Amino acid sequence: MASDSTPKAVPGSSGTGTFASLSNRNYRHYYSGQGVSLIGTWLQAAAVRWIVYEQTNSATLLGVIEVANLMPGLLFGLFAGAVSDRVRPRTMILAMEFGQMICAFALAILVGAGVAQFWQMAVILALTRVCVSFAQPSRQVYLYELVGPESLGNAIALNSGLFNATRVLGPALAGLGLELMGAAWCFALNGIGRFASIGAVFAIRVGDRAKPARSGGAAMRTVLAGLYYLREEPRMARLFALMGFFGFMGMGYESMTPIYATRVLGAEVGGYGLILACGGAGATVGALTVARVGDNHRKDQTALLGLLIFAAFLFCAAAHPGFVESRWPVSARLAAGGVCLFGAGFGASVFYSSTQTLIQLMIPPHLRGRIMGVWMVVFSGSVPLGALWTGWAASVWGVTPVMAFSAVVCIAMGLFLLATDALAERPASPDEPDDEFQEQ
């Protein structure tokens, strides 16, 4: 594990309000650095998505590129989580930022030279995701070291909100970049931005921590310790299952946004960037809302409310052709579609931020990296699988019927969980999980 000691609160880091954790100097550097890193990651993925659509005009290949963009997290997530509990998180974060920088510049060179092929872009996206898969669990360990338990709840809300906001803000910037500068510059800017994220990590000053522990137990049992813990914690297991459901059934629509923008809204690349910007604005508002609410409301109910809001606006986006006439100007159709994606982004961000906050507040510190490795597996497996089935179904039945189906299923799941109160915290059982993982 990264450290057996509990981090002490950093002077000046306490406070209340939406941005309380940002009074911590180290956290401010960490937050800004991760923001730059995440925006670059999503910017690159969205730019590749648009290039693939231009080259192939294929909904199926859009699903394939989404698999390349996320699937490595499924393959390496558990191992990355185990490594993050044994390698200094700062070292891992810096190494993976350098790796993503190399991938970004490679794409910039290939696209700028006009020789980029589908398989090359898929491979580079996959390599980028390998870097992200190893960095993310280490970032969660590092977050705990930076803010300590006193500010952890607010920092988690801001951090998970940043993740969900940038995963839409990045593509929105990609749309603007594609319109104004061209694809090669999108990738070059991502590579250049890595210098800022690396510099932010170097600016962090923390006290000496205990050296990462070396496990003498079985290697596979160490890697799987997060899964063993989930087996003993049914509430956390249900939260992970719900995240997997949402990624598979709900978030697949994101890979279809180029088709939605062109075929449904009648827009070009500028319109694509605009509707993504609307989704990003909604995600940002959703993240800040969760951070502002803090611990004043049950986060399980807040998460389900976010799921229902997301599904309702996704259904409105699917019904767009029914209430927006084709003779309307493109600007009016874009405005209506943008409002729908704003609401969907808001709901998705509220759902993810609340769920991740619940999960991280429940994680034992010595298993933080490995359980976040499980989170990486769930997220990285569910979203690309959702993109695959969405891409295939959209090629057969069309984009809007598939979006409507996804929305209805998500609404049904949200109402069922609210009615049964299945995510509520239960009274402690006399058979608590044992401490067999303390030394793993």
297 or 431: whose pLDDT is higher? 297
pLDDT score, position 235: 86
**Is the predicted pLDDT of residue 305 greater than 80, yes or no?**
yes
**Is the predicted pLDDT of residue 267 greater than 70, yes or no?**
yes
218 token code pair? 């079985």
pLDDT score, position 102: 95
pLDDT score, position 256: 80
275 or 28: whose pLDDT is higher? 28
pLDDT score, position 98: 94
pLDDT score, position 101: 94
CA distances (Å), origin 106, targets 115, 127, 377, 387, 408: 12, 11, 26, 25, 41
Sorted by sequence, the CB contacts under 8 Å of residue 217 that are 6+ apart come out as 439, 440
pLDDT score, position 427: 56
Q: What tens digit of pLDDT does each residue of 392-421 get? A: 888 888 888 999 999 999 999 999 999 988
273 or 36: whose pLDDT is higher? 36
Q: Band the pLDDT of 220: cuts 50, 70, 90.
A: low
Give the angle subtended at the CA of 340 by the CAs of 261 and 342, to the nearest 5°: 100
Q: What is the mean pLDDT of residues 176-194?
A: 87
**Is the predicted pLDDT of residue 434 greater than 90, yes or no?**
no
**Is the predicted pLDDT of residue 38 greater than 80, yes or no?**
yes
Statement: the pTM of the whole predicted model exceeds 0.85:
no
Can you tell me the distance from the alpha carbon of 37 to that of 134, in angstroms, rounded to the nearest whole number?
A: 14
pLDDT score, position 298: 77
pLDDT score, position 198: 93
Q: Band the pLDDT of 326: cuts 50, 70, 90.
A: low
**Is the predicted pLDDT of residue 426 greater than 70, yes or no?**
no
pLDDT score, position 261: 83
Long-range contacts of 181-187 (CB under 8 A, 24+ apart): 183/47, 183/50, 183/51, 183/111, 184/108, 184/111, 184/112, 185/108, 186/43, 186/44, 186/47, 187/44, 187/47, 187/104, 187/105, 187/107, 187/108, 187/111
416 or 181: whose pLDDT is higher? 416
Q: Band the pLDDT of 2: cuts 50, 70, 90.
A: very low
Q: What is the mean pLDDT of residues 20-39?
A: 86
pLDDT score, position 347: 93
pLDDT score, position 39: 87
Highest averaged pLDDT of the listed ranges 33-42, 285-294, 369-378, 407-416: 407-416
Q: For the chain, which domains are there?
A: 20-204+220-420 (1.20.1250.20)
pLDDT score, position 409: 95
pLDDT score, position 311: 95
Q: What is the mean pLDDT of residues 101-123?
A: 91
Q: What is the mean pLDDT of residues 208-228?
A: 56
Mean pLDDT across the chain: 79
Angle between helices 59-84 and 118-147 (to 10 degrees): 40
Q: What tens digit of pLDDT does each residue of 41-89 get? A: 878 877 888 888 888 887 778 777 777 776 777 777 777 777 777 788 8
pLDDT score, position 164: 65
Highest averaged pLDDT of the listed ranges 98-102, 149-153, 299-303, 351-355: 98-102
pLDDT score, position 149: 67
| Alpha carbon 270 to its chain's center | 24
**Is the predicted pLDDT of residue 360 greater than 80, yes or no?**
no
